[in-house]
Structure 1
């Protein structure tokens, strides 16, 4: 070496070390003073590495270890005379603490970094080297390791990392690009699997009974593996001649398990990586090994869409090559037929949504995720794979299992614009390079960008960023992530927009017919209609059209993610037509991504919410935050509604009474329309649970009825030219009284009045009747909002009885004529609208009837049971599958509610907690009192919640109420399942059947007394 550097030659060595790039020059100075003397050139080279402190530590450890083995001289000579060796060695030591540790344990391995040793070996060469490491003959037809001892496993790991070291040296000095590195890593993993299989054969007796092929999946199959990654595999086996299939499969299973252990077991040299077989048919619940016929049967009959997507990257990597080839020949046609399925695109989008949902996008780690975070690797991969599966059916050039090769083919074929493909390629290469650098540091599986400044500095310098490595790296990473996310969101649609917006022909690379085909493949059932909507929204040179051309590529992607893309796009066009000239509307959508995304989901999921929005398009503004979508409390709604009534009823004069009343209620109904939209959107977005929805819808109905009562009372007083001669209250009944209203529920009520002292009872009755009729008239007026039907048929004597009764009349009736069913109906009575004192007195009147002292007798119980049976027989529609009727079917809402109500009738007098109108609260109270087993209460509550959610979601999706699970209309059924967050329709049906079956079993015991 040339003139050595030592502490004595420089007056301020730490200053010079700091200038060379050391972040801890004091420590570096001590290491040099206590140990090795490095010449100026070598020390400068160390300072030029990504992490000089790490490189110096690794180099000094390596030199010391080499000296112990008597090989230090050769290493020093190479450092001085072989620039390529020095560059590769220091590059590795400046990035990877783990490989520095490997070199310290195996100092002779530095020689793989020589020019010749650094060249990439072939896949066959790697296979031979790793087989020899475990004592197997690479030329044997079925290689067999010398044994399965810990020493053999250590030898496998040492040889594997020797090759990993050579590859890292080429990678970090630019001698190999990303594609070459990823392919070499996949080949090295395949070689390790082959060696692991050889070790397994040494462990498993009778291994000759079967042929076993190992199919690489994921990045291993696509030859784009990371430095440290789970290696995804699928196993396929067949019996050798003369052996029974069952026995051969048992042997093959033991071989596969032993091979997995050989690679993933921890040793003195650590583990290689986990071998993950979870992508096999049925996942971890399925057999580890299957025959070729079993694989075929599964994929043809049971496989989900994501499994076909996974097969895109399938490749035989170890074991019997002929069997592996036959597996590939069998699966390939199945993969390229997958996109023919009606729900194919929706299924792929569902899978992407589940992956994104799994990662909380608001956490700090999520923002640093290279793989799953916004604008991460998965965004590129999912977009490329979806395009491959859609268009690869007819274009075989798209069938590469490697992401970058497939992206290049998509660009050549015109499926992705050249600029977009170039941006995605650059971003993907950058993100993968960063991923490799992070994993190389400690050879650990991670996809998270570190937040420590030292780690960020090492990453930036390894990427060649020297002026401000931390700042430049962070800016570049964020820029690439934003670009990936932007292109990912509009990838399919930009060519379509160019076509329909009549841009110059050289830019519109797709014909309208091709555009229609692609829209259909992405889930649009009327692509021609979709193209017309797009053209109408984007045609022209106005600012409105220009902003729509910016918005629509993203919006179309979100519509395609929703259950009804066509309905979503149509609704968007209608809302845009209504608000398009409003300056804030398009600006809000453009600047607030959350608003646009939520709007797309709502419009593409719910006819009910879309109708509400079309009637009050200004409500778009509330989509911005979760706080805006939180249902407002009853007090706030009541204050706003009653204030509106006062504004319109303060004017005097009977001539204007009708007009003023109608105007007042119109304002209140507008408030109701807005609040229904708020609750519906919160429900569609999963921001509220079923209990909150019921309470919110009840509050909205209650303030609407109270406002109408105030308005009607005021109008009648104008007509009477004086105050009303009676006090009035409205008693909420049924689901209204239970605070469990649905979107399509009527408001069951009873009207009660009490004449003021001195008033004529007949006049008071006529006035009360006039108020009740006026209330019903006002709420039945045609208006642009869902109707609120006032149903008074639960009153005494039903439709034959008077619409309004006095409190005394109610008392007399209940004392003389009341039937058990009426006491049961009163369990849901909540007198909370109107005169507070009268409400309290009515409650005191009915409490002894619904919560009788000593409970009800057996005769009443039998009558209630007969009534329930008759109701189900008479009201259940003919020809329907009663098991799918969420209200009257077995285990449905009626079953649960009647069971809870029977417990209340029997025990509420003694158990205060049962004195509630709410079903779930009654079940909880019964369980707390020991009247109902806690697990039974849970079964009933879960069934009630699910049935209620299904009814509510069906109304949201269809815009019309229904008590039946949708089974006939596929799109409607799929939409309900999607909104309810079920990955497939069948899972919704099965989940409901399971809950209903369990609930019915409880009802049989609790309500019918069955053993």
Structure 2
């Protein structure tokens, strides 16, 4: 590293020539460039002049070395200082560090952030030495229960969290240090209160040692007021007490404070554990746009309290808290981090500048804005340092006089007029970049409403989502925007009714209204959904957090596929601590992806077949990722699976890999105990009972209601013997049943069976057996007669309602699927999808191309109609019952010009398919 003098790039202008001349004379032996820096600095700062005079013998050799070397030597020298002399040694180190960093700053040798990091490093070393030395004294006096001298190295489980600028490595020149002191109560068991008393003494002594002004000055003014409920709590708390407070009462400003938090002294491992435990408090899994309002309110309170709301002037302007100041950039950055950092850990940077760049990398702010704010932040911090260097005062306020401003201008190396112009330009630029983010929009007038519409809108005031004053305040600004967007809908009255249903279903409003206000494009999406698919809007009202994914950056990206989905969910579950939270995490994850598929389908980004595959991928990913979690939780109580384990089979549409938005899941569990009679856990179970209860646990995991709702309805009736049989089937019983007892309809069900999770060896065996059963059981003369009988009974039970009922009725979905399975069984075709079962299965009876085409055309039309209808409603759809937007969606999906044309086309296609089906089943 190069020495100090060779790295000089600038220096101040000497404001007062008298002290400048004195220092020039004192250091006449130094090179001109060094002497010039010292003299000019002394001419601007009485404090630095005093330090130069006092530390002249230390400073001369120091300036001939690299500043990094000199600073490292300062810190290292503290380690050997006796505890009794620690206060003096720390004050000496602080004086020298203050002088060295100031000169490195003023001479351009170090960047602003190098200066702040050096000051932070000194604060860290001071806190660490105080904690370990003072705790060692408590141990020596026998005041820390059960502790030995070796425990002093980790401060007996006590640690200090650096908050604010110290936590981020951004200490300013005369900064206070904000600390929260905690201890690990688990190290002391029943004696934790005695330990707390000792740690309270340590905290008070450390504060005095660092803060008290003695002959040698002070080290760092220490502020402990960021701790939980500081007005009533002791200066050092247990981790458990702090965690309990944040869980029950933590506020947005405390969450923001913890963005920068890090352990800086004592038991660093315990400190990191504590911060990890606070992750759900600080970093919410949903996008937290309500934090914007909190930050805005906080800014206004600070300005009002400090009297900072006047006209923007250089004199008396607060560089930290005033308009366009440092705090604006910090709030701008931290609030965005709070909004999105729960979902994206890459945004959790402790530093302001690192946070800005991370946000730009993920498009939460533009790169241009991030770069502008970075330059403004550095320039503001430089002025702040000059203000503090004048007399070592913890001030952020520009002088009240023209003479004082001229001194700061000279300290910054600028003529006064130029300094004033540049400073005001920077303050206005900061305000321009940040104010629009925080300041709520003015309440505008909405469009004129009809009497009917006015009645609906007036009724919104009683909805649960508008229960709080805060929600009402946000919604007053949002309502005219919503109404203007509604006016553009194809049928505004219809869309208003659907939006009314959405609002009525919202349990609370602050978060979702804040989300809409900060992201106007979401309002268009909501109106689009409300005007087209009221059922999806109602789903959204119950699961509003799914909108997080819309603005998470990849909502409209291509479908990621099964492997990526499974890996993503497995990773999410792995990082979630306990079983119940894992279930909630799975539900939240699934609902976001499920909503995404629906929106893509609704907007024509995918068609009904792509949607069907996506819904099936999603269900399979949930099963594949959740199965090992359920099995592991079950094994905690009852031991590992006896024998070879088990596999989960998807049946029906799930096995075929094509679901609609409202599909339930048909599942079977098959196990192989391999002769093992009992599990070996703390509460062992017989193999049959083990797998039956494990199956029930899996079904519960999928279908039980939790705070996040449920994943899927699950049906296990396709297992051998249906409702009468055990919910889990052994591989031996499965073989025997399929060979000797199963009916033709159960063999038909096997044509779509597919292993989704479980032991790979057992999975291969099950699929081999499935193929063998198809080859053997599809050849009997009775097959067609059995299927014909089954078809007759299905038609009697569910005859269909005609019109746009695409599922039930002759020649429609259920009918075509039944024939496809029959063809697959007769031809021993292992394919599971309808199209392949028809095309491959049709070879055995030598079905004509025209007949195959009739089946395919009808199936494709029916699936498109059914898939679209299920997105709109869970009832049988009819053109008259659908709204205008929903009707247009169905017609677009089916490629039809009008409702009557689609009705005719469906009837004709179904009639052609029915003739093929009937002819085949008659042999």
Normalised by the length of structure 1, the TM-score is 0.42
**Under a length normalisation based on structure 2, what TM-score does the superposition of the two structures give?**
0.46
Higher relative contact order (CA 8 A, sep 6+): 2
